[in-house]
Homo-oligomer: A and B are copies of this chain.
Amino acid sequence: MTKPQTLKGFRDFLPKDMGIRNYVKNTLIEVFENYGFLPLETPALEYASVLKGKYSNETDDKLGYFFKDNGDREIGLRYDLTVPAAKVLAIYSNDLQLPFKRYQIQPVWRAENTQKGRYREFVQCDIDIFGTSSPIADAEIISIIYAGVQKLNFKNAIISINSRQVLFDILAKSAIEKDQNSVLQSLDKIGKIGEDGVINELKSKALSQSQITNLFKYIKEAQPDEKLKLVLNKLEALGLPDNSYIFDPTLVRGCDYYTGTIFEVSVTEPKIGAIGGGGRYDNLVSTLGGPNIPAVGFAFGFERVVDVIQELNLLPQANQSKTKILVANFGPETESNILNLVSNLRDKDIASIVYPDNDKLAKQIKYALSLGINYLAIIGPDEAKNNQITVKNLITTEQKLVSFDELIKIIN
């Protein structure tokens, strides 16, 4: 049989990868639940009609995994979590009390060009508040971003905040009335290509010199509009320090569906830009076939957050190996003793393993070290006779003879 392969753009997550991924997932869930968000999960497969035509036909055809099932139904794999959430609001509106605060962390599938280092299966991590247009909801979402990056120990993360009204007001003052979204798309690149790059692009889009000059003039003079002020002035009461967020009138966010506040969070180290973004989208749910309800939400870029943790080595020690001790196998004579020991350790919630085979001790130690386990327990005939355990610290190589209670103390 030929050696099997994993599909390009897909990944197997071995235990060392899973350590970081589970840490990120559990940390964010802890924050979300502390803010009263509730978990939601939706199926991987949906009717193609549920998924298609929500962004653009081109997106569907290029990025979607669509096929016919055995019952000749046109079905597809979800490629985001917003459309399925809108579906849930449409189907179960009687079971869900508004405002509905849900978080959803699940993989999505997109037939991306893998040469750009993109994955075809990746995790999305969405939080949204459906059913209120109160600026408190916008401020809560911004506050949860702050709590998230704090909990993940990301220093120098900064939340940029703007609103679509601020942008359209700047365009109006600059007498830019045609192709507004195209102009905003150019402006969106300011972080990547700089002000000069944006100016060149706008020239090529046939904007006049005075339009461009005015655009940057009004950007520099821009102030939050009334609605955005209502959001911003709640952040202090919610515990956000002044230096954790900034009003950024050049912030655009890709999606046209935003209707109000927009925001993004970035880290300065490593240089990977935004690690999440979101905003208010009061019309999307109804456009997606749901009832007419306002919404504001945010998505952490799960894979990017994982990258930051990896890059900056931010995985806490406790998450690196959960298994604390390997109980060595000394052969049949003391087998009951070692099984008894491992069972008693587990009863004390000390994650432990027993080596199943009577291999050489050196091999057993190598195995423990390969798993990041720091302690080795040995019960030979002498230890067994005296009801004792030899414990070896595999890092310092120090070892001593102890009782079970002393062993517990050493490990904790």
Interface locus among A131-139, A252-260, A303-311, A389-397: A131-139
Give chain B residues whose Cβ lies under 8 Å from the Cβ of A209.
Answer: none
Interface residues of A in 112-154 (CB under 8 A from B): 120-121, 129, 132, 134, 136-137, 139-140, 143, 147
A25 and B21 CA atoms in complex are apart in Å by: 16
A222 part of interface (Cβ distance < 8 Å): no
A344 and B143 CA atoms in complex are apart in Å by: 13
Partner of A7, one of B3, B47, B120, B346: B47
Tell whether A18 pairs with B45 under 8 Å between CB atoms, given A91-B4, A136-B354, A239-B347: no
A-side residues, CB < 8 A to B, are 1-7, 10-15, 18-19, 21-22, 33-36, 38-47, 49-50, 62, 65, 67-70, 73, 75, 77, 84, 87-88, 90-92, 95-97, 99, 101-102, 107, 109, 111, 120-121, 129, 132, 134, 136-137, 139-140, 143, 147, 234, 237-239, 287-289, 322-323, 329, 335-337, 339-340, 342-344, 346-347, 349-354, 356-357, 367, 370-371
| CB-nearest residue of chain B to A291 | B3
Partner of A14, one of B92, B147, B238, B344: B92
Partner of A97, one of B70, B346, B347, B370: B370
Tell whether A39 pairs with B22 under 8 Å between CB atoms, given A97-B370, A234-B339, A239-B343: yes
Tell whether A41 pairs with B67 under 8 Å between CB atoms, given A4-B49, A46-B6, A354-B136: no
A239 and B88 CA atoms in complex are apart in Å by: 46
Give chain B residues whose Cβ lies under 8 Å from the Cβ of A7.
Answer: 43, 45-47, 73, 75
Q: How far is the CB of A173 from chain B (nearest CB, A)?
A: 30
Partner of A39, one of B18, B111, B234, B367: B18
Give chain B residues whose Cβ lies under 8 Å from the Cβ of A3.
Answer: 90-91, 289
- Pairs A–B under 8 Å by Cβ, sample size 17: A4-B47, A5-B47, A6-B42, A6-B43, A6-B46, A6-B91, A12-B40, A12-B92, A14-B88, A18-B39, A21-B41, A34-B350, A36-B352, A136-B354, A234-B336, A237-B339, A238-B339
A50 and B6 CA atoms in complex are apart in Å by: 9
Stoichiometry (number of copies) = 2
Give chain B residues whose Cβ lies under 8 Å from the Cβ of A139.
Answer: 339
A147 and B351 CA atoms in complex are apart in Å by: 13
Q: How far is the CB of A6 from chain B (nearest CB, A)?
A: 6
A3 and B94 CA atoms in complex are apart in Å by: 14
Tell whether A121 pairs with B43 under 8 Å between CB atoms, given A50-B5, A91-B3: yes
A111 and B72 CA atoms in complex are apart in Å by: 12
Q: Judging by beta carbons under 8 Å apart, are A237 and B336 in contact? A: yes
A383 and B101 CA atoms in complex are apart in Å by: 28
Partner of A11, one of B19, B43, B102: B43
A38 and B337 CA atoms in complex are apart in Å by: 25
| CB-nearest residue of chain B to A51 | B4
Give chain B residues whose Cβ lies under 8 Å from the Cβ of A95.
Answer: 14
Give chain B residues whose Cβ lies under 8 Å from the Cβ of A340.
Answer: 237-239
Q: Judging by beta carbons under 8 Å apart, are A15 and B102 in contact? A: yes
Q: Judging by beta carbons under 8 Å apart, are B132 and A356 in contact? A: yes
A143 and B337 CA atoms in complex are apart in Å by: 16
